[in-house]
Amino acid sequence: MNVIEINGLKKRFEKGQFCLDLPEMQVQEGYITGFIGENGAGKTTTLKLMMDMLYPDEGTIQILGMDAHLQGPQVRAQIGYVGSTPGYLEHATLETLKRMHAPFYKDWDENLYRKFCDRFSLDGKKKYKDLSTGKQKQFSLCIALSHHPKLLLMDEPTANLDPLARQEMLDILADELQNEGVSVFFSTHITSDLDKIADYVQFLHGGRLLLAGEKDRICEENRVVKGPLHLLTPETESLFVNLRRSEFGFTGLTGCPDEVFGLLGDEAVYEKPTVEDIFLGYTQAERGY
Partner 1 sequence: MENVKNLVRMEGYKLLCIRRALLGYLVLMVFSAFAMQSAVFFFFILLYLLTYTPIAYDERSKGDYHIGVLPVERVQVVQAKYLVSLVELVLLSLLIGVSGSLVNRLCEIPEAYRISFGGIMSLFFGGAMFVGVVMPCLLWLGSIKARYLVMAVYLLMFAAMGAVSYFDNQWITRTAHAGGVWLIPSGLAILLFSYAVAVPLYRRRQFTN
Q: Which residues bind partner 1 (CB under 8 A)?
A: 13, 48, 51-55, 72-74, 76-77, 79, 81, 83, 85-92, 96, 100-101, 103-105
Q: How far is the CB of 190 from partner 1 (least distance, A)?
A: 21
Give the three-state DSSP class for 4: strand
Q: How far is the CB of 23 from partner 1 (least distance, A)?
A: 22
Q: Closer to partner 1 by CB, 139 or 200: give it.
A: 139
> What region does 69 belong to: left with phi over 0, alpha with psi -120 to 50, or beta?
alpha
Greatest pairwise CA separation for the chain in angstroms: 68
Q: How far is the CB of 101 from partner 1 (least distance, A)?
A: 8
Residue spans of beta strands (DSSP E) within 180-248: 183-188, 200-205, 208-214, 223-227, 240-246
Q: Closer to partner 1 by CB, 1 or 89: give it.
A: 89
Q: How far is the CB of 81 from partner 1 (least distance, A)?
A: 4
Q: Closer to partner 1 by CB, 101 or 244: give it.
A: 101
Q: Closer to partner 1 by CB, 54 or 174: give it.
A: 54
Q: How far is the CB of 84 from partner 1 (least distance, A)?
A: 9
Q: Closer to partner 1 by CB, 1 or 53: give it.
A: 53
CA 240 – CA 259 distance, rounded (Å): 11
Q: Closer to partner 1 by CB, 47 or 209: give it.
A: 47
Cβ neighbour number for residue 103 with a 10 Å cutoff? 8
CA 124 – CA 117 distance, rounded (Å): 8
Looking at residue 279, the DSSP 8-state letter turns out to be H
CA 289 – CA 239 distance, rounded (Å): 14
Contact call for residues 24 and 4 (beta carbons, < 8 A): no
CA nearest to 166, candidates 195, 145, 124, 199: 195
- Please report, to the nearest 10 degrees, the dihedral formed by the alpha carbons of residues 191, 38, 83, 5 taken in order: -90
Q: How far is the CB of 126 from partner 1 (least distance, A)?
A: 15
Q: Closer to partner 1 by CB, 22 or 218: give it.
A: 22
CA 235 – CA 269 distance, rounded (Å): 18
DSSP conformation letters of 8-57:
EEEEEETTTTEEEEEEEEEEETTSEEEEEE-TTSSHHHHHHHHTTSS--S
Q: How far is the CB of 17 from partner 1 (least distance, A)?
A: 14
Q: How far is the CB of 74 from partner 1 (least distance, A)?
A: 7
Give the three-state DSSP class for 89: coil
Q: Closer to partner 1 by CB, 55 or 289: give it.
A: 55
